[in-house]
Amino acid sequence: MVAEEDLESEKKEIIRRYRRLLRKAKPILKDGDAKIIKKAFNTSMEAHSGMRRRSGEPYIFHPLEVAEICISEIGLGTTSIVAALLHDVVEDTDYEIEDIERLFGKRVAVIIDGLTKISGVFDQGSSQQAENFRKMLLTLSDDVRVILIKLADRLHNMRTLESMPRHKQLKIANETIYLYAPLAHRLGLYAFKSELEDLYLKYSEPEVFEDIAGKINETKDSRNKFIRNFIRPIKDKLNALNIEYEIKGRPKSIHSIWNKMKKQSVPFEEVYDLFAIRIILNVSFKDEKAFCWQVYSLVTDYYQPNPDRLRDWISIPKANGYESLHTTVMSDTGKWVEVQVRTTRMDEIAEKGYAAHWKYKDGKTTDETGLEMWIAKVREILEQNNANAIEFVDDFRSNLYSDEVFVFTPKGDLKTLPQGATALDFAFDIHTEIGEHCLGAKVNQKLVPLNFELKNGDQVEILTSNKQKPNESWLQYVVSSKAKSKIKDALKEERKVFIDEGREIVKRKLKQLKIEYKQTVLEEIANYFNVKSPVDMLYLVGTGKIDHSLIKSFVKNKKTVVEKPSVRGAKDVEEKLSRVRKTDSDLLLLGEDLDIIDYKFAKCCNPIPGDDVFGFVTVSDGIKIHRTTCPNAAELLANYGYRIIKAKWASSRKHSFEATLSIIGTDRMGLVSDVSNIISEELKVNMRSLSINTEGGIFEGLIRLYVEDTSHIDTLTKKLEKVNGVVKVSRSN
């Protein structure tokens, strides 16, 4: 029970937060808007009455915070504030969509429906997470605000993830990095994207996060001093331009620094562009380009630019609407510094993405922005895509982070495609029919094959033939969602024709052999020919790859159907663990539970005791144990929540586990001997193999050995790094 005085102070806090929301919304409110927001707030208060979040706070705090993020961090309007206040009402309370429509109108109801998760029974093997994500994306056809409110909801959930149990933290964090951060990136919400990525790291690898955050903080004073010294010489020249400007120096996000450390295999101290300097100009729309280039010129007059690091997103903005001029210059102290030049308008679009476009679009231009074109493309893909939800999400996701390549049609029209796009992607981008009949292309007047990768500035002409049609190999030639989806549709159509043909042949054959045509018989035939499913068997018969005369031999050697193991969800496993142990614990204890549940360690990440892990129920290979930092973790946790099992190491027994260490250093006589002595003699570790490759005085090696746990491997790493000549030792998957 909550004490009376606590309830009173909670009420005051709710009112305080509500008033803060209204204050922030005030600049955009029109007549009657405050009344609608008040009605939505009261409805949400009443619906969530008595409900509390995992942290113990009143539930109403959450919708209020989401609404505030929508207004102050994205810049959305009244409809979005109302929808944000009501976003969990249909899902978590007795309210129905019809009630929302009656009280707040059709538009709000459509948004709430898009934000409400799907309930009900799913096909075996499908993923509720993926189905929900697809449902949310489908509302792009109606209203992009659904996605923006969902991102605000996700950001607030990530900011308050502290109170969740560890397994929930991992699931939500991985779903965020797999789907929501790329979506924020694509919609131009860079501030959202960076915060979501940092919060993911905070919960997935807390030690790494704390370490980098601490180092950023420690270097704050020296960084500020460096920025002051860097901008001093260019300030006078900027003042001479007689325009308003602002200079900001900001560190890169923790996640992007961590990515650089991993990609370049360097410690924090050696990441060269830890921060960027942003020069923001307050100039009129028509003068933007001229002033940005003028400021670029001033900076590069004083500091030497890196010619490979100039990015001009002012002449051709990114597909998500991002505009800025980036260059990397060498400072007086020998450090590379990234300098971004942009205007106030560009800066707001970069921070608030999609929502900021409308503010600046009025009366400025009638052209479609790159972002609108992208959303139109997404709508097209969504409306035609009938793949299963997981395939759809993977396809969609692969197009979220990709950079763009800019190419031209024969008439000089500019087309934006994902990085790595081929001539075949270009053909499907122009029209489905042209894609399906594409024979080849001319790029800059030269004949090229379908899988020719396009580069910025290429001019492309597509060659077609009515005899040409898509085949399986085409899927290897394309990277865009649109092309993949269209090729799959064409192949499905063709496959359906062959399946129907195969069905007629098998029916006829079974009738001759006086055997009833039914599912169990089809399964027996598929099993006899060692084919995955009856549908695959019918397809192979229809294409002639299984000769129908062989069905006779099946009857002679009739085999019984071998039952395939069905996909068990995590629930079955957890129930079994609780039942056998006669406790409420549904945690899989590694090292103790093999007699209850059979499990294996995943080869992709080779977990050892001390690693943070989870269990995954596979379709046919039992339970696999993965590290939470496994390269496949984000996809498994984001798409297959119903197959994830909580797991941890039992500390009572010592076992040996295989691990691989990567070692890099400068070559010298006796180095291998010193390394193997430390492993075998000093630490008494059993080594399985040691392979060393030396080139140009640098050696790289892989050591496979047996260790007891992560602390054992840490001790070994520290000892090896002290060996003369060894530069870096790290654990490899």
Closest CA relative to residue 11, chosen from 45, 38, 34: 45
Round the CA-based radius of gyration of the chain to a whole number and report it: 30
Do residues 640 and 616 touch, judged by C-beta distance below 8 A?
yes
- Rounded to whole angstroms, how far apart are CA atoms 611 and 592? 16
Could you write out the DSSP letters of every residue in 642-667? GGEEEEEE-SS----EEEEEEEEEE-
Cα 549 to Cα 15, 508, 521, 546, 572, distances in angstroms: 79, 11, 16, 9, 43
Burial (CB count within 10 angstroms: exposed 0-12, middle 13-18, buried 19+), residue 445: exposed
246: tokens are 């602002």
* E strands, 331-412, in order: 336-343, 404-408
- Rounded to whole angstroms, how far apart are CA atoms 581 and 575? 10
Sign of the CA dihedral running 266, 269, 272, 275: positive
- Rounded to whole angstroms, how far apart are CA atoms 429 and 409? 11
Closest CA relative to residue 41, chosen from 69, 13, 22: 22
Sign of the CA dihedral running 190, 193, 195, 201: negative
Contacts of 722 (CB under 8 A, 6+ apart): none
- Rounded to whole angstroms, how far apart are CA atoms 722 and 309? 37
616: tokens are 């995954």
Closest CA relative to residue 84, chosen from 149, 160, 18: 149
> Which residue numbers are catalytic?
91-92
